Structure 1
């Protein structure tokens, strides 16, 4: 009987240790990861860092012209045509600007996608402020549908002087499970 008691005691200790590890992992994920992710996004310009409203911007530098290039990519799992309407434009810092991207679904099926963005050079990302963008929400295109999608943005006036050109790049990915979602959301 003492062998069974020993096994039960060992199992209880193991369960207790596993429970402590699970709680520690949960706490790390809830409390430590969001600030680390935000810092990573701010440094690299990835994710949704750099999204601010005009009220959060301080204008203390003189306006100047900066060349903004536009890039578009589509993941191989999404059968869309996606490209910038204009490959580049000169933008005045502090001034609201609109750029258009073209998206088309040449397939015979409705589909949905989600865009991610990147600004390069990475240190320019914090000065590139999108106020409205198709990348904020899931996009649905019916079979054969084509659409121009705007992005409204401005460059903060305190953009470092040595940044004379930057690139806004989008990649559209297939929205997982979109066949069911698009079919269910259709009228």
Structure 2
């Protein structure tokens, strides 16, 4: 085909358009603008559709990974929560159990000046045999001077004094001492006593067989009672280098007024073991 013919037709159309009326020219311009707008809208729609498709594809691809990350975060949050709750419960349990645990250790080892409770209490058992083996005075040892002291809480109207100032005992030898308590008020009062031993290094060897400490003592108005303390010094103190040069041991008692809660239970007494 001869290319000159199409070119000639196009030129003819251009010349005819230039020589057409103004109405035809405006209509032709309007058609050209509408065609341009349609092309722009079509291109924009295709572009938006393509972006939407790509975004959906990315979201679909990232969904499993996001779900996995969410599960990991939930697992970490649960683990952190469990650890936090465990720490809180452990702290509360320790705060409630530390006092009785400390008192039990002190009464077992003698720490903090707490005398050791003598082993035994049964009849014919191994503990009684062990206690009997310790209750043998070491006659070639030097006697130890045991003094007694007492005090009363300010809110307790009692008079509380030891009947003897001191006793001298051999290691392994039992001794009996008495305290006297008098209720100077016009009301019946219940008191509870605590005790300690000084010097502190002697406390593990000061063993009580019978004692009125940590027990409720009810005194009627104006009543006076005698309270015994039956004890001995363990012979093992002779093998302790910390006991070298210790010639005097002091047993101290303090009486407090017993207090009760709304359920009628005895409240904690300073220095008393908690059950």
Whether these two folds match at TM > 0.5 is yes
Indicate how the Cα distance of structure 1 residues 15 and 176 shifts in structure 2: closer, same or farther if over 3 A, else same.
Answer: farther
Stretches of structure 1 that go unaligned for 5 or more consecutive residues are 1-8, 182-187
Stretches of structure 2 that go unaligned for 5 or more consecutive residues are 1-73, 121-127, 238-242, 265-275
Task: State the Cα deviation string for residues 110-158 of structure 1 (Å, max 9, x = none).
Answer: 0011110000000101111111101141111000000110000001112
Indicate how the Cα distance of structure 1 residues 143 and 95 shifts in structure 2: closer, same or farther if over 3 A, else same.
Answer: same
Aligned to 2:203, what secondary structure does the other structure show?
Answer: helix
Q: What is the TM-score normalised by the length of structure 1?
A: 0.75
Indicate how the Cα distance of structure 1 residues 39 and 135 shifts in structure 2: closer, same or farther if over 3 A, else same.
Answer: closer
- Choose the corresponding residue for 2:219, options 137, 141, 151: 141
- Choose the corresponding residue for 1:53, options 101, 119, 123: 119
The yes-or-no answer on 1:90 pairing with 2:168 is yes
Task: State the Cα deviation string for residues 14-58 of structure 1 (Å, max 9, x = none).
Answer: 986763343222453477766555456632223xx5112264556
The yes-or-no answer on 1:166 pairing with 2:242 is no
- State how far apart, in whole Å, the 2-side matches of 1:33 and 1:140 are: 26
Aligned to 1:134, what secondary structure does the other structure show?
Answer: coil
- Choose the corresponding residue for 2:181, options 88, 103, 113: 103
Greater C-alpha Rg: 2
| Counterparts of residues 34-53 of structure 1 (less than 5 Å) | 38-39=104-105, 42-46=110-114, 49-53=115-119
Aligned to 1:24: 90
Q: What is the TM-score normalised by the length of structure 2?
A: 0.53
Aligned to 1:53, what secondary structure does the other structure show?
Answer: coil
- State how far apart, in whole Å, the 2-side matches of 1:153 and 1:21 are: 43
Which structure has greater helix proportion? 2
The yes-or-no answer on 1:112 pairing with 2:178 is no
RMSD between aligned residues: 3.2
Which structure has greater strand proportion? 1
